[in-house]
């Protein structure tokens, strides 16, 4: 009798375990497969106040400075502010340019921003007619006529785009002062791109897709000739690309994603349905599962200028993903963009000038693309 009782008890216990085990496993499974939802950045007075001081404090900080010039003779040895009176701060010329871009966009988007007047004062001191003409002379020099090709060129056109989009007396005056340099950069693009037989596919400044993508934003509004050339060359360089090795990214010093920058450019060049076909060949299955291809880039030392590039990579990846995710209504891309953005945004204020002199513009550009 005792043996029979134990057998019945064992059967009842087994049945009960089976009844409760499935819901428990289903609940655990749901937790495992559920994606983390990352917070979307917002452009507010608070975020603007966090970002603006990085650029504000360095656009007139002359040293340390990396000139990147070619010396024709001893007379070329001059102070940064003498060589580049408009854009001498923020460690190097291109960082100064996109620092100016960041400040312009903050006060353009937030007209009542608390630092508006002090920002304008600095911008108006730097972007004068006289200063810009000295910049033009530098770019016209036989030894430096490829200076900042095409990374700095692209950001300069971004400033012009902002000023022309912003209908205020201050913007009109700054645009008038800057125009000689803008015209020169436009002409340099038009002269250079037909000569460039092969695109440059690196994750740093010379990346052709980045330089063309930013310039195309400007050209679509203000330069039909440049627009037509960029579209033609983008198709020539990239239309037949397939299987981009995105799992090889990032390189140790990257601040741009070669694959995503190319996709960002082609999104602006091709009609939506053609772009989808192109993207599925270029990055197979990326639309369905982008997170399986990209992990957030980790920065091991923010005092090292090259290693700090990876924070910029997180921001530039984010803006490319925002562009594509918005155009394709792809929440997975948008969520992955948020993940990349949040990692580096929370760590920007490290006190290290290696990142502080340039990252605000990358973060701001990503925020503006997210909204």
Domain ranges in the chain?
A: 39-370
List % helix, strand, coil for the chain (3-state, nearest 5).
65, 0, 35
6-15, 83-92, 261-270, 289-298: the lowest-pLDDT one: 6-15
Whether pLDDT at 6 is above 50 = no
Closest among 35, 7, 18 to 333, alpha carbons compared: 35
Q: What is the pLDDT of residue 44?
A: 96
pLDDT > 80? residue 9 = no
Angstrom distance (rounded) from CA 343 to CA 65: 28
21 vs 95 pLDDT, higher one: 95
Helices and strands in the chain, H and E counts = 16, 0
Confidence category of residue 75, pLDDT binned at 50, 70, 90: very high
pLDDT category at 15 given cuts 50, 70, 90 is very low
The mean predicted confidence, pLDDT, of the chain is 92
Predicted confidence band of residue 35 (pLDDT cuts 50, 70, 90): confident
- Taking the C-alpha atoms of residue 188 and residue 352, their distance in angstroms, rounded to an integer, is 34
Q: Which CATH architecture has domain 39-370?
A: Alpha/alpha barrel (1.50)
The angle subtended at Cα 95 by Cα 94 and Cα 99, nearest 5°, is: 120
Does the pLDDT value for residue 294 go beyond 70? Answer: yes
Range in 21-25, 157-161, 185-189, 365-369 the model is least confident about: 21-25
- Name the pLDDT band for 131 (thresholds 50, 70, 90): very high
Mark 103-125 as b/e (b = at least 16 C-beta within 10 Å). Answer: bbbbbbbbeebebbeebbebbee
Q: Which of 158, 134, 269, 128 is nearest to 222 (CA)?
A: 158
Tell which residue, 337, 310, 309, has the closest CA to residue 323.
337
Tell which residue, 178, 258, 254, has the closest CA to residue 222. Answer: 178
> For residue 138, is the peptide bond before it cis, meaning its omega torsion is within 30 degrees of 0?
no
pLDDT at 212: 98
Judged against a pLDDT cut of 60, whether residue 147 lies above it is answered with yes
Q: CA-CA distances (angstroms) from residue 70 to 75, 135, 141, 205? A: 12, 15, 10, 18
Residue 107 CA neighbour count, 13 Å, CB half: 23
Over the stretch 333-357, which tens digit does the pLDDT of each residue have?
999 999 999 999 989 888 999 999 9
Q: For tokens 């909204």, what's the residue?
A: 371
Three-state secondary structure string covering 166-218: CCCHHHHHHHHHHHHHHHHHHHHHHHHHHHCCCCCCCCCCCCHHHHHHHHHHH
For a pLDDT cut of 90, what percent of the chain falls above it?
89
Note if the pTM is more than 0.85: yes
* Residues 233/193, Cβ–Cβ less than 8 Å: yes
Check residue 350 and give its pLDDT.
86
DSSP state of 76: G
The per-residue pLDDT for range 218-252, each reduced to its tens digit, is 999 999 999 999 999 999 999 999 999 999 999 99
pLDDT mean over 32-50: 87
Cis peptide before 150 (omega within 30 of 0): yes
Calculate mean pLDDT across residues 312-326: 98
Read off the pLDDT band of 154 (50, 70, 90): very high
Give residue 23's pLDDT band: very low, low, confident or very high (50, 70, 90). very low
**pLDDT confidence of 34, banded at 50, 70, 90?**
low
DSSP string, 234-298: HHHHHTT-----GGGPPPTT-SS-HHHHHHHHHHHHS-HHHHHHHHHHHSTTTTT-GGGT--PPP
């Amino acid at each position: 009798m005792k043996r029979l009782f134990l057998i019945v008890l064992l059967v009842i216990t087994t049945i009960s375990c089976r009844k409760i085990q499935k819901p428990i496993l289903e609940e655990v499974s749901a937790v495992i497969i559920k994606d983390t939802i990352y917070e979307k950045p917002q452009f507010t007075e608070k975020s603007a106040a966090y970002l603006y001081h990085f650029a504000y404090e360095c656009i007139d900080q002359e040293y340390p400075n990396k000139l990147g010039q070619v010396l024709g003779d001893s007379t070329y040895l001059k102070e940064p502010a003498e060589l580049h009176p408009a854009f001498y701060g923020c460690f190097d010329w291109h960082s100064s340019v996109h620092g100016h871009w960041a400040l312009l966009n903050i006060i353009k988007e937030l007209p009542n921003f608390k630092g508006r007047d002090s920002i304008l004062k600095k911008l108006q001191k730097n972007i004068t007619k006289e200063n810009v003409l000295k910049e033009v002379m530098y770019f016209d020099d036989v030894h430096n006529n490829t200076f900042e090709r095409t990374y700095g060129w692209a950001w300069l056109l971004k400033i012009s785009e902002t000023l022309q989009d912003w209908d205020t007396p201050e913007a009109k005056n700054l645009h008038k002062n800057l125009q000689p340099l803008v015209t020169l950069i436009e002409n340099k693009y038009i002269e250079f791109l037909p000569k460039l037989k092969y695109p440059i596919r690196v994750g740093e400044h010379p990346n052709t897709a980045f330089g063309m993508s930013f310039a195309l934003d400007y050209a679509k509004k203000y330069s039909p000739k440049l627009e037509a050339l960029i579209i033609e060359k983008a198709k020539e360089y990239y239309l037949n690309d397939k299987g981009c090795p995105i799992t090889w990214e990032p390189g140790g010093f990257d601040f741009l994603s070669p694959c995503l920058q190319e996709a960002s450019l082609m999104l602006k060049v091709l009609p939506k349905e053609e772009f989808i076909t192109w993207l599925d060949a270029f990055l197979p299955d990326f639309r369905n599962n982008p997170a399986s291809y990209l992990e957030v880039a980790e920065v091991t030392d923010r005092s090292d200028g090259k290693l700090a590039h990876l924070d910029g990579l997180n921001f530039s990846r984010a803006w490319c993903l925002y562009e594509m995710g918005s155009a394709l209504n792809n929440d997975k891309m948008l969520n992955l963009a948020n993940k990349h953005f949040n990692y580096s945004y929370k760590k920007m204020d490290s006190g290290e000038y290696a990142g502080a002199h340039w990252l605000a513009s990358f973060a701001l550009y990503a925020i503006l693309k997210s909204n």
